[in-house]
Amino acid sequence: MVDRPETSDEWHMPAEPIRQERGHPPPKLAIVLPCYNEEEVLPETSRRLLLLLDDLSESGLIEEGSLYFVDDGSEDGTWQFIQSLAASNERVHGIKLSRNYGHQRALLAGLLHAPGDVVISIDADLQDDLTATKSMLSGYASGAEIVYGVRRLRQMDTSVKRVTAEAYYSILRAIGVNLIFNHADYRLLSRPVIEALREYKETNIFLRGLIPQLGFQSALVYYDRQERFAGVSKYPFSKMLALAIEGITSFSDVPLKIITILGLVISLVSFAMATWALWIRIFNPSAVPGWASTVIPLYMLGGIQLLCMGVIGQYLAKIYSETKSRPRFIIEKLI
């Protein structure tokens, strides 16, 4: 079903299919799937998606549909399968990147190159409910330009991953990042939204935070996430941590403000410790001279300085990568 959040009026979506009332024909749909070493799951993924396109066409929700697989530098037979499938089915297309650029850049490459009135992005592992695309298209027909797929439950995740993921969303909201809770990269974007996204040229990409900044009328579709059909997750802890840092540092300067406050607090604490050490020196002759005023501030200030330098370094690294203006991805082949 299509819902609207309880906290914002901007998410209002008309209940009636206003596009059809205004004479708009059913849209042409492109489905974008970033792939990295997905050889095991792609046969079933492509089979289900082609059946889905048939169903959407027969039900009148779309005029026509196509699949765009983006090979993000896979090391297995992913690209070979995409080539063979594209050769046998005209609705299947492939985009091969020159190397592994990461999930977000691969997804962006697909979004910017896939045609169509609407583009739906989805992972290739079949964990996202394909039937939710019908609700997304209904939301588009009712006037929404962006329709977010939101996980109703995270029962397929481990308890650790579920807790850390929900904590991460909460932290991002707390520091002012406009993010859709429990939304990953399963979403529908209309052509005007894609063209607006094309104007954003930053190298450091975090689409989950970038898409809501575009504005446009939006809606939510809730679905239940399934188990991975085959293969293993291509997002180990190191990549999830890198994506988490990317999300925080790309959309908020709160960590830098925290450093300023932390510096003030530590200065006050250090002044209090100096006063206490002086009191000990004057009124407790048996105390070992210099131990408090040397050891405690040394370790405390050293640790805080290293932490602050690390946070500042993250922002400097982003400035460095942005000023070089290197391509976000390079497409080696298009089929």
Encoded tokens for 209? 């935070």
Q: What is the pLDDT of residue 225?
A: 82
Mean pLDDT value of segment 306-332 = 77
Predicted confidence (pLDDT) per residue in 100-147, tens digit: 998 999 999 999 999 999 999 999 988 899 999 999 999 999 999 999
Predicted confidence (pLDDT) per residue in 244-266, tens digit: 666 666 666 667 667 767 766 77
Say yes or no to pLDDT of 46 above 80: yes
Element (H, E) at 137: helix 132-141
The distance between the two most distant Cα atoms of the chain, rounded to a whole number of Å, is 92
Neighbours of 123 (CB within 10 A): 21
SS3 call for 185: strand
Predicted confidence (pLDDT) per residue in 13-37, tens digit: 444 566 666 667 899 999 999 999 9
Encoded tokens for 270? 């250090």
Mean pLDDT value of segment 180-184 = 83
**Could you tell me which residues come within 8 angstroms of residue 91 by beta carbon, excluding any fewer than 6 positions away?**
50, 53, 65, 66, 67
Say yes or no to pLDDT of 6 above 50: no
Q: What are the sequence ranges of the domains in the chain?
A: 2-252, 254-326
CA distances from 77 to 36, 80, 332 (A): 10, 5, 16
Cβ–Cβ under 8 Å, residues 113 and 95: yes
For residue 72, give the nearest of 99, 33, 90 by alpha carbon. 99
Say yes or no to pLDDT of 307 above 80: no
Mean pLDDT value of segment 290-314 = 68
Q: Cα–Cα distance between 142 and 168 in angstroms, integer?
A: 32
Q: What is the pLDDT of residue 289?
A: 61
Predicted confidence (pLDDT) per residue in 63-103, tens digit: 999 999 999 999 999 999 999 999 999 999 999 999 999 89
Strand ranges in 179-243 using DSSP code E only, listed in sequence order: 183-190, 218-223
Encoded tokens for 128? 């996202």
For residue 66, give the nearest of 27, 29, 110 by alpha carbon. 29
Which residue(s) pair with 120 in the sheet?
A: 31, 188
pLDDT band at 170, cuts 50/70/90?
confident
Considering the chain, what is the average pLDDT of its residues? Answer: 80
Beta strand pairing call for 118-121 and 28-35: parallel
Encoded tokens for 58? 């027969």
Residue type, 33: L
Q: What is the pLDDT of residue 284?
A: 67
CATH topology for 2-252 is: Spore Coat Polysaccharide Biosynthesis Protein SpsA; Chain A (3.90.550)
- What does R_g of the chain's alpha carbons equal in angstroms? 25
Residue-wise DSSP of 132-165 = HHHHHHHHHHTT-SEEEEEES--TTS-HHHHHHH
